[in-house]
Amino acid sequence: MPMWPRPMRPIVHPTRYCTQHHYQHHVVPHMHPTHIQHQYHNIYHHKHYYPVTQSCCSDAVHQHEQCGRPPCC
């Protein structure tokens, strides 16, 4: 009787894990708003003046003196 190889049960080894990395790029917009306020200031300088006026006045005094009597007509 010839000897043929007899089939054997297979030996199963632990599964080998390989990782393949796949990347997908995403754009994420970031908004940083800025507000500029222009504030204008009005400064008023109040200057006070005190003008002085002068005036003069004079009196006139009239004195009538009767030096005798008027002649009779």
Cα 69 from Cα 34, distance rounded (Å): 109
Question: Above 80 in pLDDT, residue 70?
Answer: no
Q: Which amino acid is at 14?
A: P
Q: Kindly state the DSSP code that residue 54 receives in the 8-state scheme.
A: -
Average pLDDT, the chain: 90
- The confidence band for 72, taking pLDDT boundaries of 50, 70 and 90, is confident
Residues 65, 71, 73, CA angle at the centre, nearest 5°?
Answer: 140
* pLDDT for the residue numbered 73: 66
Cα 43 from Cα 48, distance rounded (Å): 16
- Range 35-50 average pLDDT: 97
